Amino acid sequence: MRFANLAAAFGENSIQVGALALDRSHAVQLAGDLLVASGRVHPDYTQEMIDVLDSHGPYIVIAPGIALAHSKPSNLVLETGMSLVVLAEPIEFGNKANDPVRLVFGFCAVDHDSHLGLLQDLAIALSEESFVNSLLNARDSEHLRSLL
């Protein structure tokens, strides 16, 4: 396991490979659904993630092809965690520099600082182009999990 904190953040059923989304809100919805399915958040958290996108714009597209969708710590978050949707077809989020998006991470945290190790892992992982490519080429969710 290369990224222990990252791997631990992905619960069961938190990864979907080859997903189809209609638009950016739908793509974020899928990432939120996985956080719900893996027991990390209340379903209302997903709507908050979509609201952040609508109110603050597509800043969540933090690198070419990669979005990090999240809201804030609240009682809707049961446990800090992550999810990942690998889109079969790229989606435009409206981010000039980094569109279109194929990797949509969902993220939830119970507080403001206990997830720093997790984000540190994420920063290192996503700065490696080969790692990002391996995520994009994962055969299925189990294969993707084995890459973490």
Give least dist CB 129 to another protein, A.
Answer: 9
**x-or-dash string of contact with another protein, 62-91, rule CB under 8 A:** xxx---x-xxxx------------------
By beta-carbon proximity to another protein, the closer residue of 132 and 138 is 132
75, 112, 130, 139: which one binds another protein (CB under 8 A): 112
CB distance 134 to 143 below 8 Å: no
7, 37, 52, 136: which one binds another protein (CB under 8 A): 52
**Phi, psi for 94 (deg, rounded to 5):** 95, 15
By CB under 8 A, is residue 58 in contact with another protein? yes
Omega of the bond prior to 58 within 30 degrees of 0, cis?
no
Take residue 134 and report the two structure tokens written for it: 């391996």
Residues in the chain: 148
Closest residue by Cα to residue 67 from 34, 41, 90, 42: 90
CB distance 51 to 31 below 8 Å: no
Q: Which residues bind another protein (CB under 8 A)?
A: 52, 55-60, 62-64, 68, 70-73, 95-98, 107, 109, 112, 115-116, 119-120, 122-123, 126-127
